[in-house]
Amino acid sequence: MLRLDADRTVEFCDGFRRRDFLHMGALTALGLGMPDMMGLQAKGAVDPSKKDMNCIFLMLVGGPSQLDTWDMKPNAPAEIRGPYKPIKTNVPGIEISEIFPRMAKHADKFALIRSVYHTAAAVHDTGHQMMQTGRLFQGGVEHPHFGSVLGKLKGPNGDVPPHVLLPKPIGATGGNMPHGQTAGYLGKTFDPFVLNADPSDPNFRVPDMLPPDYLSALRVDRRRDWRNMVDKTVSKFETSQDARLLDSTFHQAYTLMSSQKAREAFELHREPEKVREKYGLNRFGQSCLLARRMVEAGVRFVTINMFETVFDEITWDIHGSRPFSPISCYRDLVGPMFDMGYASLLEDLHDRGLLSTTMVVGSGEFGRTPKVNPAGGRDHWPNCWTMHMAGGPVKGGQVIGASDEIGGQPKDRPVTPMEVAATVYHGLGIDLATELPGAQGRPIPIVDRGTEPIKELFRS
Protein backbone atom coordinates (compact mmCIF):
# COMPACT_ATOMS: atom_id res chain seq x y z
CA MET A 1 0.00 0.00 0.00
CA LEU A 2 1.17 3.52 -0.75
CA ARG A 3 0.85 5.59 2.40
CA LEU A 4 0.16 9.31 2.21
CA ASP A 5 1.08 10.55 5.68
CA ALA A 6 4.40 12.33 5.16
CA ASP A 7 5.19 15.02 7.71
CA ARG A 8 5.97 17.79 5.25
CA THR A 9 4.91 18.81 1.77
CA VAL A 10 7.02 18.03 -1.28
CA GLU A 11 7.56 20.48 -4.07
CA PHE A 12 7.87 18.72 -7.43
CA CYS A 13 10.27 20.07 -10.03
CA ASP A 14 12.03 18.99 -13.20
CA GLY A 15 14.84 17.69 -11.06
CA PHE A 16 12.81 14.73 -9.86
CA ARG A 17 14.80 11.81 -11.22
CA ARG A 18 14.15 8.37 -12.65
CA ARG A 19 16.52 6.97 -10.02
CA ASP A 20 14.23 8.39 -7.32
CA PHE A 21 11.48 6.17 -8.61
CA LEU A 22 13.90 3.25 -8.67
CA HIS A 23 14.61 3.96 -5.02
CA MET A 24 10.90 3.64 -4.40
CA GLY A 25 10.94 0.39 -6.34
CA ALA A 26 13.71 -0.81 -4.09
CA LEU A 27 11.59 0.10 -1.09
CA THR A 28 8.89 -2.10 -2.55
CA ALA A 29 11.40 -4.94 -2.63
CA LEU A 30 12.14 -4.17 1.02
CA GLY A 31 8.46 -4.55 1.83
CA LEU A 32 7.44 -0.88 2.15
CA GLY A 33 5.33 -0.80 -0.99
CA MET A 34 4.87 1.71 -3.82
CA PRO A 35 2.16 0.71 -6.31
CA ASP A 36 2.59 2.45 -9.65
CA MET A 37 -1.16 2.51 -10.17
CA MET A 38 -0.88 1.63 -13.82
CA GLY A 39 -3.91 -0.56 -14.50
CA LEU A 40 -3.78 -3.23 -17.15
CA GLN A 41 -7.03 -3.37 -19.12
CA ALA A 42 -8.30 -6.95 -19.31
CA LYS A 43 -9.83 -7.76 -22.69
CA GLY A 44 -13.46 -8.70 -22.43
CA ALA A 45 -13.60 -8.26 -18.65
CA VAL A 46 -15.55 -4.99 -18.70
CA ASP A 47 -18.82 -4.52 -20.57
CA PRO A 48 -18.34 -1.35 -22.65
CA SER A 49 -22.11 -1.02 -23.12
CA LYS A 50 -22.61 -0.37 -19.41
CA LYS A 51 -22.23 3.02 -17.78
CA ASP A 52 -18.92 3.53 -16.00
CA MET A 53 -19.65 2.82 -12.32
CA ASN A 54 -17.77 3.74 -9.17
CA CYS A 55 -18.06 2.29 -5.68
CA ILE A 56 -17.70 3.48 -2.10
CA PHE A 57 -17.36 0.52 0.27
CA LEU A 58 -18.02 1.16 3.96
CA MET A 59 -16.29 -1.48 6.09
CA LEU A 60 -18.15 -1.30 9.41
CA VAL A 61 -15.33 -2.77 11.46
CA GLY A 62 -16.52 -4.61 14.54
CA GLY A 63 -19.69 -6.17 13.18
CA PRO A 64 -22.93 -4.23 13.79
CA SER A 65 -25.73 -6.02 15.62
CA GLN A 66 -28.52 -6.74 13.16
CA LEU A 67 -31.07 -6.66 16.00
CA ASP A 68 -30.11 -3.14 17.09
CA THR A 69 -29.70 -1.57 13.65
CA TRP A 70 -31.46 -2.76 10.48
CA ASP A 71 -33.33 -5.98 11.37
CA MET A 72 -35.11 -5.32 14.62
CA LYS A 73 -37.39 -7.80 16.35
CA PRO A 74 -39.66 -5.64 18.54
CA ASN A 75 -41.98 -8.54 19.41
CA ALA A 76 -39.19 -10.83 20.63
CA PRO A 77 -38.39 -11.24 24.35
CA ALA A 78 -36.37 -8.42 25.95
CA GLU A 79 -33.13 -10.42 25.97
CA ILE A 80 -33.47 -10.77 22.19
CA ARG A 81 -34.89 -7.43 21.03
CA GLY A 82 -32.42 -5.28 22.99
CA PRO A 83 -32.82 -1.70 24.23
CA TYR A 84 -33.71 0.13 21.01
CA LYS A 85 -37.00 0.72 19.25
CA PRO A 86 -37.75 0.65 15.52
CA ILE A 87 -38.78 3.80 13.64
CA LYS A 88 -40.55 4.21 10.33
CA THR A 89 -38.61 5.22 7.23
CA ASN A 90 -39.74 7.16 4.17
CA VAL A 91 -40.64 3.81 2.56
CA PRO A 92 -43.85 2.26 3.93
CA GLY A 93 -43.23 -1.10 5.59
CA ILE A 94 -39.48 -0.61 6.15
CA GLU A 95 -38.36 0.14 9.70
CA ILE A 96 -34.87 0.58 11.13
CA SER A 97 -33.43 1.45 14.54
CA GLU A 98 -34.18 4.74 16.25
CA ILE A 99 -30.43 5.38 16.34
CA PHE A 100 -30.58 6.25 12.60
CA PRO A 101 -33.13 9.07 12.24
CA ARG A 102 -31.44 10.68 9.23
CA MET A 103 -30.82 7.39 7.46
CA ALA A 104 -34.55 6.64 7.83
CA LYS A 105 -35.28 9.59 5.55
CA HIS A 106 -33.32 7.98 2.71
CA ALA A 107 -34.69 4.44 2.67
CA ASP A 108 -35.89 5.06 -0.87
CA LYS A 109 -32.22 5.25 -1.91
CA PHE A 110 -30.87 2.08 -0.29
CA ALA A 111 -31.73 -1.60 -0.14
CA LEU A 112 -31.34 -3.78 2.95
CA ILE A 113 -30.14 -7.37 2.64
CA ARG A 114 -31.19 -9.09 5.87
CA SER A 115 -29.95 -12.60 5.23
CA VAL A 116 -26.16 -12.40 4.82
CA TYR A 117 -24.19 -15.18 6.49
CA HIS A 118 -20.96 -17.16 6.36
CA THR A 119 -19.83 -20.48 7.84
CA ALA A 120 -16.18 -19.69 8.60
CA ALA A 121 -14.74 -19.02 12.05
CA ALA A 122 -16.48 -16.24 13.99
CA VAL A 123 -13.43 -13.97 14.05
CA HIS A 124 -13.09 -10.48 12.63
CA ASP A 125 -10.25 -11.15 10.19
CA THR A 126 -12.01 -13.93 8.27
CA GLY A 127 -15.11 -11.79 7.91
CA HIS A 128 -13.04 -8.87 6.64
CA GLN A 129 -11.46 -11.14 4.05
CA MET A 130 -14.69 -12.60 2.76
CA MET A 131 -16.72 -9.40 2.68
CA GLN A 132 -14.06 -7.53 0.68
CA THR A 133 -12.85 -10.29 -1.64
CA GLY A 134 -15.62 -12.89 -1.64
CA ARG A 135 -13.28 -15.62 -0.41
CA LEU A 136 -11.58 -16.96 2.67
CA PHE A 137 -7.79 -16.91 2.42
CA GLN A 138 -6.32 -20.42 2.48
CA GLY A 139 -3.02 -22.08 1.68
CA GLY A 140 -1.15 -18.79 1.76
CA VAL A 141 -3.24 -17.36 -1.10
CA GLU A 142 -4.53 -13.84 -0.46
CA HIS A 143 -7.31 -12.82 -2.81
CA PRO A 144 -7.58 -9.24 -4.09
CA HIS A 145 -9.92 -6.59 -2.76
CA PHE A 146 -12.80 -5.54 -5.04
CA GLY A 147 -11.15 -2.16 -5.62
CA SER A 148 -7.85 -3.75 -6.61
CA VAL A 149 -9.61 -5.97 -9.16
CA LEU A 150 -11.39 -2.95 -10.60
CA GLY A 151 -8.08 -1.10 -10.74
CA LYS A 152 -6.45 -3.92 -12.67
CA LEU A 153 -9.31 -4.35 -15.12
CA LYS A 154 -10.01 -0.68 -15.81
CA GLY A 155 -6.87 1.16 -14.71
CA PRO A 156 -6.76 4.74 -13.45
CA ASN A 157 -9.33 7.28 -14.55
CA GLY A 158 -6.97 10.04 -15.61
CA ASP A 159 -4.21 10.92 -13.18
CA VAL A 160 -5.86 9.81 -9.94
CA PRO A 161 -5.43 6.32 -8.46
CA PRO A 162 -8.20 3.83 -9.18
CA HIS A 163 -8.55 2.69 -5.54
CA VAL A 164 -8.15 4.78 -2.38
CA LEU A 165 -8.44 3.49 1.20
CA LEU A 166 -9.52 5.86 3.99
CA PRO A 167 -8.49 6.76 6.59
CA LYS A 168 -6.17 3.93 7.67
CA PRO A 169 -5.85 0.15 7.12
CA ILE A 170 -7.55 -2.18 9.57
CA GLY A 171 -5.19 -2.96 12.43
CA ALA A 172 -5.31 -5.60 15.14
CA THR A 173 -8.67 -7.31 15.54
CA GLY A 174 -7.54 -10.46 17.32
CA GLY A 175 -6.89 -12.98 14.57
CA ASN A 176 -3.44 -11.85 13.36
CA MET A 177 -4.50 -12.59 9.77
CA PRO A 178 -4.79 -10.46 6.62
CA HIS A 179 -7.91 -8.33 6.38
CA GLY A 180 -8.46 -8.50 2.64
CA GLN A 181 -7.60 -4.88 1.85
CA THR A 182 -4.67 -5.39 -0.51
CA ALA A 183 -4.31 -6.60 -4.09
CA GLY A 184 -3.27 -10.04 -2.83
CA TYR A 185 -1.94 -12.25 -5.60
CA LEU A 186 -2.34 -9.42 -8.15
CA GLY A 187 0.74 -7.82 -6.65
CA LYS A 188 1.51 -4.49 -4.99
CA THR A 189 1.04 -2.64 -8.27
CA PHE A 190 -2.70 -2.79 -7.62
CA ASP A 191 -2.70 -2.08 -3.89
CA PRO A 192 -4.85 0.91 -2.88
CA PHE A 193 -3.56 4.35 -2.14
CA VAL A 194 -3.82 4.67 1.66
CA LEU A 195 -4.36 8.06 3.26
CA ASN A 196 -3.08 6.89 6.68
CA ALA A 197 -4.17 10.11 8.38
CA ASP A 198 -7.26 11.31 10.24
CA PRO A 199 -9.17 13.79 8.03
CA SER A 200 -11.03 15.12 11.10
CA ASP A 201 -7.75 16.29 12.63
CA PRO A 202 -7.79 20.12 12.74
CA ASN A 203 -4.23 20.02 11.35
CA PHE A 204 -5.15 17.71 8.46
CA ARG A 205 -3.78 18.97 5.16
CA VAL A 206 -3.05 17.71 1.69
CA PRO A 207 -0.81 14.67 2.09
CA ASP A 208 2.39 14.32 0.15
CA MET A 209 2.09 12.14 -2.91
CA LEU A 210 5.26 10.30 -1.95
CA PRO A 211 5.66 7.52 0.58
CA PRO A 212 7.01 8.82 3.91
CA ASP A 213 9.44 5.93 4.22
CA TYR A 214 11.04 7.11 1.01
CA LEU A 215 11.26 10.68 2.24
CA SER A 216 12.86 9.50 5.46
CA ALA A 217 15.39 7.52 3.46
CA LEU A 218 16.45 10.70 1.69
CA ARG A 219 17.27 12.48 4.96
CA VAL A 220 20.88 11.38 5.02
CA ASP A 221 21.64 13.31 8.16
CA ARG A 222 19.07 11.32 10.12
CA ARG A 223 18.95 7.99 8.26
CA ARG A 224 22.39 7.51 6.74
CA ASP A 225 22.53 3.79 7.41
CA TRP A 226 19.09 3.26 5.91
CA ARG A 227 20.06 5.19 2.76
CA ASN A 228 23.15 3.04 2.34
CA MET A 229 21.01 -0.09 2.52
CA VAL A 230 18.63 1.29 -0.10
CA ASP A 231 21.54 2.22 -2.38
CA LYS A 232 22.88 -1.31 -2.20
CA THR A 233 19.44 -2.67 -3.05
CA VAL A 234 19.02 -0.27 -5.99
CA SER A 235 22.14 -1.59 -7.70
CA LYS A 236 20.46 -4.99 -7.92
CA PHE A 237 16.99 -3.62 -8.45
CA GLU A 238 17.82 -1.53 -11.54
CA THR A 239 18.41 -4.65 -13.60
CA SER A 240 15.30 -6.46 -12.38
CA GLN A 241 11.97 -6.95 -14.12
CA ASP A 242 10.35 -4.65 -11.55
CA ALA A 243 12.78 -1.89 -12.48
CA ARG A 244 11.92 -2.27 -16.16
CA LEU A 245 8.24 -1.99 -15.26
CA LEU A 246 8.89 1.20 -13.31
CA ASP A 247 11.02 2.59 -16.12
CA SER A 248 8.29 1.94 -18.70
CA THR A 249 5.67 3.73 -16.61
CA PHE A 250 7.88 6.46 -15.14
CA HIS A 251 6.24 9.40 -16.89
CA GLN A 252 2.74 8.16 -16.07
CA ALA A 253 3.69 7.63 -12.44
CA TYR A 254 5.21 11.10 -12.25
CA THR A 255 2.02 12.61 -13.71
CA LEU A 256 -0.06 10.85 -11.07
CA MET A 257 2.10 11.76 -8.13
CA SER A 258 2.48 15.42 -9.10
CA SER A 259 -1.15 15.85 -10.16
CA GLN A 260 -2.81 19.04 -8.96
CA LYS A 261 -6.20 17.38 -9.45
CA ALA A 262 -5.24 14.50 -7.18
CA ARG A 263 -3.94 16.85 -4.51
CA GLU A 264 -6.97 19.12 -4.65
CA ALA A 265 -9.25 16.16 -4.02
CA PHE A 266 -7.74 15.84 -0.54
CA GLU A 267 -8.25 19.51 0.34
CA LEU A 268 -11.18 19.34 2.74
CA HIS A 269 -10.72 23.00 3.65
CA ARG A 270 -12.33 23.79 0.29
CA GLU A 271 -15.63 22.49 1.69
CA PRO A 272 -17.94 24.94 3.52
CA GLU A 273 -17.87 24.44 7.28
CA LYS A 274 -21.61 23.67 7.27
CA VAL A 275 -21.00 20.78 4.88
CA ARG A 276 -18.23 19.39 7.06
CA GLU A 277 -20.43 19.66 10.14
CA LYS A 278 -23.29 17.92 8.34
CA TYR A 279 -21.08 14.86 7.78
CA GLY A 280 -19.90 14.92 11.38
CA LEU A 281 -16.56 16.29 12.59
CA ASN A 282 -15.18 12.83 13.27
CA ARG A 283 -12.96 10.37 11.45
CA PHE A 284 -15.78 8.47 9.74
CA GLY A 285 -17.83 11.51 8.77
CA GLN A 286 -14.89 13.33 7.24
CA SER A 287 -13.79 10.15 5.46
CA CYS A 288 -17.25 9.97 3.86
CA LEU A 289 -16.89 13.57 2.71
CA LEU A 290 -13.42 12.82 1.40
CA ALA A 291 -14.79 9.78 -0.44
CA ARG A 292 -17.31 11.98 -2.23
CA ARG A 293 -14.48 14.28 -3.29
CA MET A 294 -12.44 11.27 -4.45
CA VAL A 295 -15.27 10.05 -6.68
CA GLU A 296 -15.74 13.56 -8.08
CA ALA A 297 -12.03 13.63 -8.92
CA GLY A 298 -12.26 10.34 -10.83
CA VAL A 299 -11.29 7.69 -8.27
CA ARG A 300 -13.13 4.50 -9.20
CA PHE A 301 -13.26 2.77 -5.81
CA VAL A 302 -13.01 4.15 -2.28
CA THR A 303 -12.85 1.94 0.80
CA ILE A 304 -13.64 3.49 4.19
CA ASN A 305 -12.77 1.69 7.41
CA MET A 306 -15.09 3.06 10.06
CA PHE A 307 -12.68 1.87 12.75
CA GLU A 308 -9.12 0.55 12.81
CA THR A 309 -9.37 -1.91 15.68
CA VAL A 310 -11.90 -3.32 18.13
CA PHE A 311 -9.72 -2.99 21.22
CA ASP A 312 -9.98 -0.07 23.66
CA GLU A 313 -12.00 1.94 21.17
CA ILE A 314 -15.77 2.47 20.96
CA THR A 315 -16.90 0.45 17.91
CA TRP A 316 -19.67 -1.85 16.68
CA ASP A 317 -18.03 -4.70 18.66
CA ILE A 318 -20.43 -4.67 21.64
CA HIS A 319 -19.36 -7.56 23.86
CA GLY A 320 -20.36 -5.32 26.74
CA SER A 321 -17.15 -5.31 28.76
CA ARG A 322 -13.67 -3.90 28.28
CA PRO A 323 -11.63 -3.80 26.09
CA PHE A 324 -14.77 -3.88 23.96
CA SER A 325 -17.82 -1.63 23.77
CA PRO A 326 -21.12 -1.45 25.66
CA ILE A 327 -24.39 -1.71 23.76
CA SER A 328 -25.21 1.85 24.86
CA CYS A 329 -22.54 3.18 22.48
CA TYR A 330 -24.88 2.55 19.55
CA ARG A 331 -27.16 5.27 20.90
CA ASP A 332 -24.48 7.56 22.32
CA LEU A 333 -21.72 7.54 19.69
CA VAL A 334 -21.49 4.89 16.98
CA GLY A 335 -25.07 5.17 15.73
CA PRO A 336 -25.09 8.99 15.41
CA MET A 337 -21.62 8.90 13.83
CA PHE A 338 -22.75 6.46 11.14
CA ASP A 339 -26.13 8.16 10.69
CA MET A 340 -24.60 11.57 9.95
CA GLY A 341 -21.86 10.31 7.65
CA TYR A 342 -23.96 7.85 5.67
CA ALA A 343 -27.03 10.06 5.24
CA SER A 344 -24.90 13.04 4.19
CA LEU A 345 -23.00 10.90 1.70
CA LEU A 346 -26.22 9.70 0.05
CA GLU A 347 -27.64 13.25 0.05
CA ASP A 348 -24.57 14.78 -1.52
CA LEU A 349 -24.10 12.08 -4.14
CA HIS A 350 -27.76 12.41 -5.09
CA ASP A 351 -27.77 16.22 -5.20
CA ARG A 352 -24.60 16.30 -7.30
CA GLY A 353 -25.86 13.73 -9.78
CA LEU A 354 -23.29 11.15 -8.70
CA LEU A 355 -25.49 8.56 -7.01
CA SER A 356 -26.62 7.09 -10.32
CA THR A 357 -23.00 6.17 -11.11
CA THR A 358 -21.75 5.39 -7.59
CA MET A 359 -22.61 2.26 -5.65
CA VAL A 360 -22.45 2.69 -1.87
CA VAL A 361 -22.01 -0.65 -0.11
CA GLY A 362 -21.98 -1.00 3.68
CA SER A 363 -21.38 -4.12 5.76
CA GLY A 364 -19.75 -5.46 8.85
CA GLU A 365 -17.80 -8.71 8.95
CA PHE A 366 -20.59 -10.55 10.79
CA GLY A 367 -23.61 -9.91 13.01
CA ARG A 368 -24.16 -10.32 16.75
CA THR A 369 -25.69 -13.04 18.89
CA PRO A 370 -29.49 -12.89 19.12
CA LYS A 371 -29.43 -13.19 22.89
CA VAL A 372 -27.86 -10.45 25.00
CA ASN A 373 -24.93 -11.87 27.00
CA PRO A 374 -24.42 -11.57 30.81
CA ALA A 375 -22.31 -8.42 30.30
CA GLY A 376 -25.23 -6.73 28.58
CA GLY A 377 -23.70 -6.96 25.09
CA ARG A 378 -23.77 -9.29 22.12
CA ASP A 379 -21.01 -11.57 20.83
CA HIS A 380 -19.81 -12.57 17.33
CA TRP A 381 -22.43 -14.17 15.09
CA PRO A 382 -21.65 -14.94 11.42
CA ASN A 383 -24.87 -16.95 11.03
CA CYS A 384 -26.96 -13.94 9.94
CA TRP A 385 -26.67 -10.18 9.61
CA THR A 386 -27.81 -7.19 7.54
CA MET A 387 -25.91 -5.16 4.97
CA HIS A 388 -27.04 -2.35 2.68
CA MET A 389 -26.43 -1.20 -0.88
CA ALA A 390 -27.36 2.02 -2.65
CA GLY A 391 -26.64 3.94 -5.83
CA GLY A 392 -25.60 2.91 -9.30
CA PRO A 393 -27.92 0.24 -10.67
CA VAL A 394 -29.27 -0.64 -7.21
CA LYS A 395 -33.00 -0.25 -6.71
CA GLY A 396 -33.58 1.44 -3.36
CA GLY A 397 -36.57 1.19 -1.07
CA GLN A 398 -36.57 -2.58 -0.74
CA VAL A 399 -35.64 -5.38 1.62
CA ILE A 400 -34.08 -8.56 0.27
CA GLY A 401 -34.04 -11.72 2.32
CA ALA A 402 -35.28 -12.20 5.85
CA SER A 403 -34.03 -13.64 9.11
CA ASP A 404 -35.95 -15.87 11.50
CA GLU A 405 -38.00 -14.57 14.43
CA ILE A 406 -34.90 -13.91 16.59
CA GLY A 407 -32.56 -12.65 13.85
CA GLY A 408 -30.36 -15.70 14.23
CA GLN A 409 -30.56 -17.50 10.88
CA PRO A 410 -31.60 -16.63 7.31
CA LYS A 411 -35.23 -17.59 6.76
CA ASP A 412 -35.54 -16.39 3.19
CA ARG A 413 -33.00 -15.75 0.39
CA PRO A 414 -29.72 -16.52 2.23
CA VAL A 415 -26.79 -14.54 0.81
CA THR A 416 -23.11 -15.58 0.94
CA PRO A 417 -20.02 -13.34 0.73
CA MET A 418 -19.34 -14.78 -2.72
CA GLU A 419 -22.78 -13.62 -3.86
CA VAL A 420 -22.02 -10.20 -2.42
CA ALA A 421 -18.80 -10.14 -4.47
CA ALA A 422 -20.72 -11.16 -7.60
CA THR A 423 -23.24 -8.40 -6.91
CA VAL A 424 -20.56 -5.73 -6.51
CA TYR A 425 -18.74 -6.82 -9.66
CA HIS A 426 -21.97 -7.06 -11.65
CA GLY A 427 -22.96 -3.58 -10.50
CA LEU A 428 -19.58 -2.28 -11.65
CA GLY A 429 -20.13 -3.78 -15.10
CA ILE A 430 -17.51 -6.53 -14.76
CA ASP A 431 -18.09 -9.87 -16.46
CA LEU A 432 -18.37 -12.54 -13.76
CA ALA A 433 -16.58 -15.02 -16.02
CA THR A 434 -13.42 -12.90 -15.85
CA GLU A 435 -10.28 -14.74 -14.74
CA LEU A 436 -7.31 -13.12 -13.06
CA PRO A 437 -3.66 -14.21 -13.21
CA GLY A 438 -3.46 -15.90 -9.84
CA ALA A 439 -0.75 -17.31 -7.67
CA GLN A 440 1.79 -19.55 -9.42
CA GLY A 441 0.45 -18.52 -12.81
CA ARG A 442 -2.85 -20.37 -12.64
CA PRO A 443 -5.94 -18.33 -13.55
CA ILE A 444 -8.45 -17.64 -10.78
CA PRO A 445 -12.02 -16.54 -11.57
CA ILE A 446 -13.12 -13.36 -9.82
CA VAL A 447 -16.05 -15.33 -8.36
CA ASP A 448 -16.64 -19.04 -8.08
CA ARG A 449 -18.16 -20.51 -11.22
CA GLY A 450 -21.93 -20.60 -11.11
CA THR A 451 -22.21 -17.78 -8.57
CA GLU A 452 -24.95 -15.32 -9.46
CA PRO A 453 -25.40 -11.74 -8.25
CA ILE A 454 -28.44 -10.76 -6.21
CA LYS A 455 -30.44 -10.00 -9.33
CA GLU A 456 -33.52 -8.69 -7.55
CA LEU A 457 -31.35 -5.94 -6.09
CA PHE A 458 -30.99 -4.20 -9.45
CA ARG A 459 -33.36 -2.06 -11.46
CA SER A 460 -34.67 -3.91 -14.50
Q: What is the mean pLDDT of residues 133-160?
A: 95
pLDDT digits (tens, 9 = 90+) for 109-127: 999 999 999 999 999 999 9
What percent of the chain clears pLDDT 70, i.e. is strictly above it?
A: 78
Q: What is the mean pLDDT of residues 326-330?
A: 97
Looking at the predicted structure, is the pLDDT value of residue 454 above 60?
yes
Looking at the predicted structure, is the pLDDT value of residue 335 above 50?
yes
> Of residues 271 and 240, which shows the higher confidence score?
271
- Rounded distance between C-alpha atoms, residue 429 and residue 46, angstroms: 6
Residue 165 pLDDT class (50, 70, 90 cuts):
very high
Question: What is the per-residue pLDDT for 215?
Answer: 39
Question: What is the per-residue pLDDT for 440?
Answer: 75
Looking at the predicted structure, is the pLDDT value of residue 283 above 70?
yes
From the number of C-beta atoms within 10 Å of its C-beta (0-12, 13-18, 19+), residue 252 rates as: middle
Measure the CA dihedral 139/438/304/214, to 10°.
100
Q: What is the mean pLDDT of residues 364-378?
A: 97
Question: What is the per-residue pLDDT for 193?
Answer: 93
Question: What is the per-residue pLDDT for 254?
Answer: 53
Looking at the predicted structure, is the pLDDT value of residue 392 above 70?
yes
Q: What is the mean pLDDT of residues 201-230?
A: 54
Question: What is the per-residue pLDDT for 252?
Answer: 43
pLDDT digits (tens, 9 = 90+) for 167-193: 999 999 998 899 999 999 999 999 999
Edge to edge, the sheet with strand 358-363 lists 2-3, 193-194, 163-166, 301-305, 54-59, 358-363, 385-390, 110-116, 398-400
Residue 50 pLDDT class (50, 70, 90 cuts):
low
Question: Which domains, and CATH codes, for the chain?
Answer: 29-46+54-209+259-457 (3.40.720.10)
Question: What is the per-residue pLDDT for 190?
Answer: 95
Residue 103 Cα to chain centre, angstroms = 20
Question: What is the per-residue pLDDT for 14?
Answer: 36
- Is the torsion defined by CA of 86, 95, 389, 341 positive or negative? negative
Looking at the predicted structure, is the pLDDT value of residue 46 above 80?
no
Looking at the predicted structure, is the pLDDT value of residue 2 above 60?
no
Residue 18 pLDDT class (50, 70, 90 cuts):
very low
- Rounded distance between C-alpha atoms, residue 355 and residue 188, angstroms: 30
Question: What is the per-residue pLDDT for 158?
Answer: 87
> Of residues 250 and 335, which shows the higher confidence score?
335
Question: What is the per-residue pLDDT for 33?
Answer: 38
453: how many CB neighbours lie within 10 A of its CB?
18
Give the least confident one: 25-29, 83-87, 379-383: 25-29
> Distance of CA 259 to CAs 272, 281, 358, Å?
23, 27, 23
Q: What is the mean pLDDT of residues 56-78?
A: 98
pLDDT digits (tens, 9 = 90+) for 397-424: 999 999 999 999 999 999 999 999 999 9
* Residue 329 phi, psi dihedral angles, 5° rounding: -65, -20
Q: What is the mean pLDDT of residues 440-451?
A: 92
pLDDT digits (tens, 9 = 90+) for 253-264: 555 556 788 888
Question: What is the per-residue pLDDT for 229?
Answer: 54
Mean pLDDT of the chain: 85
**Tally of CA atoms within 13 A in the half-sphere of 309 that contains its CB:** 10
pLDDT digits (tens, 9 = 90+) for 92-102: 999 999 999 99
Looking at the predicted structure, is the pLDDT value of residue 203 above 60?
yes
